[in-house]
Chain A
Amino acid sequence: MNNKTVGVIGAGTIGSGVAQDLAQNGIKTIVVDVSQAALDTARNKIRQNIRLYKLYNKTKPIGNADEIMELLTFTTDYKELEEASFVIENITENWEAKKEVYKRIDEICPENTMFAVNSSCISITRVGSVTKRPSQILGMHFMNPVPIKPVVEVIRGFHTSAETIKAAEELLKHMQKEAIIINDMPGFVSNRLMTFMINEAAFLVQEQVAAVEDIDRLIKTSYGHKMGPLETADLIGVDTILYSMEVLYESFNDSKFRPCPLLKKMVDAGQLGRKSGKGFYTYSKELIY
């Protein structure tokens, strides 16, 4: 794996985390983003996060920060991906935007390069359909913060080959992560269950069955979850949860996925969670995580 080069498209929070994780594990990584400012921010954030990584992993030494940074290339030029044997794409969850990226890298990358869609909701099979290599496309749903999460939800599209799944498993193993392989269906497993639970928690608030704090406390203390569903909604963003629910509702055409009207009302009112200072809870300070 050490002689392999991995491309990472998108230098946002998740893309930066993936790039950091790859480099920490000795893999040469090319980070591509259309915005130079985003790349500069990512470079600084990765350097800082490599240092702070030691807070969470005393037992897993990761080496010198300068050497890790040397494995990372930051560029706005997609053409640099022609060296990559594996590309992990992490841009925004927008079909039109993703479609353009895949058409572009399908032209640039060698024909044996495999593409991983890092998404929590976009159909892997549909991404495959806009390229000439549907058997070499799969989903990799990384969780935030990527370097300290030990598991990745790996999604097998309709045409994804066994070789592609095997290559993904090997890459993840090299990153010291376990791949849990599932089949392509809207929302996959983690997002479908998590969004559904948050939506139902919002209904409980709307119907005044219980107070926000009590719902979260019940789930945390009863089921051992680290965060309650409504805290999670605030962390992810109420607008993102609403969008995920709308995607599920449209995809399945099943009323069980109807978005809770309270979520819509909160989004209209600008109550988006931590990022806006108010969601189900009120926040007095902007936090990194």
Chain B
Amino acid sequence: MEDNKQKIQAFIYEILNNMVVSDDQDIFELGVVNSLFAMQIVLFVEKEFGICFQDNDLDLENFNSINNINNFIGKKKNIIAC
């Protein structure tokens, strides 16, 4: 879980141009990136963690903060592998 979190943090910091944010920060509320970056995050998570998200999973709230992404991966990881 902590390993996953570090990978997510590294990716999000990179997307935010090396801006470091708290794990609970809604990254779309920062005004640095818009919600279109959610697509980028979904593709990263699928590739990095071998998960295929289903239609019902594709909700911005699952991808808007480091903690939310990490928790969601935790829920999904053992269920649907690509």
The answer to whether A223 has its CB under 8 Å from any CB of chain B is no
- Which residues of chain A have C-beta atoms less than 8 A from B60's C-beta? 55-56
Interface size, A (range): 20 to 34
CA distance A123 to B42 in the complex (A): 39
Interface size, B (range): 10 to 19
In the complex the two chains form, is B59's CB within 8 Å of A284's CB? Answer: no
The answer to whether B36 has its CB under 8 Å from any CB of chain A is yes
The answer to whether A265 has its CB under 8 Å from any CB of chain B is no
Which of B34, B36, B43, B55 is the one whose CB lies under 8 Å from A54? B55
- Which residues of chain B have C-beta atoms less than 8 A from A287's C-beta? 15, 37, 40
How far in angstroms is the closest Cβ of chain B from A17? 12
Could you mark each residue 13-30 of chain B with 1 if its beta carbon is under 8 Å from any beta carbon of chain A, else 0? 011011000000000000
From A65, which residue of chain B is reached at the shortest CB distance? B55
- Which residues of chain B have C-beta atoms less than 8 A from A48's C-beta? 43
In the complex the two chains form, is A288's CB within 8 Å of B39's CB? Answer: yes
In the complex the two chains form, is A285's CB within 8 Å of B14's CB? Answer: yes
The answer to whether B35 has its CB under 8 Å from any CB of chain A is yes
CA distance A288 to B59 in the complex (A): 19
How far in angstroms is the closest Cβ of chain B from A228? 9
In the complex the two chains form, is B36's CB within 8 Å of A289's CB? Answer: yes
The answer to whether B81 has its CB under 8 Å from any CB of chain A is no
How far in angstroms is the closest Cβ of chain A from B24? 20
In the complex the two chains form, is A289's CB within 8 Å of B39's CB? Answer: yes
How far in angstroms is the closest Cβ of chain B from A52? 5
The answer to whether B45 has its CB under 8 Å from any CB of chain A is no
CA distance A48 to B53 in the complex (A): 12
From A144, which residue of chain B is reached at the shortest CB distance? B36
Which A residues, 71 to 91, have Cβ-Cβ distances below 8 Å to chain B?
Answer: none
The answer to whether B80 has its CB under 8 Å from any CB of chain A is no
CA distance A287 to B32 in the complex (A): 14
Check A54/B14 contact, CB under 8 A, given A289-B36, A289-B37.
Answer: no
Which A residues, 37 to 51, have Cβ-Cβ distances below 8 Å to chain B?
Answer: 48-49, 51
Which B residues, 44 to 70, have Cβ-Cβ distances below 8 Å to chain A?
Answer: 55, 58-60, 63
Instruction: Point out which of B36, B42, B59 has the most chain A C-beta atoms below 10 A from its C-beta.
Output: B36
From A228, which residue of chain B is reached at the shortest CB distance? B31
CA distance A55 to B43 in the complex (A): 12
How far in angstroms is the closest Cβ of chain B from A175? 19
The answer to whether B38 has its CB under 8 Å from any CB of chain A is yes
CA distance A217 to B32 in the complex (A): 10
The answer to whether A95 has its CB under 8 Å from any CB of chain B is no
CA distance A192 to B69 in the complex (A): 40
Which of B18, B31, B39, B43 is the one whose CB lies under 8 Å from A284? B18
- Which residues of chain B have C-beta atoms less than 8 A from A166's C-beta? none
How far in angstroms is the closest Cβ of chain A from B64? 11
Which of B34, B58, B59 is the one whose CB lies under 8 Å from A226? B34
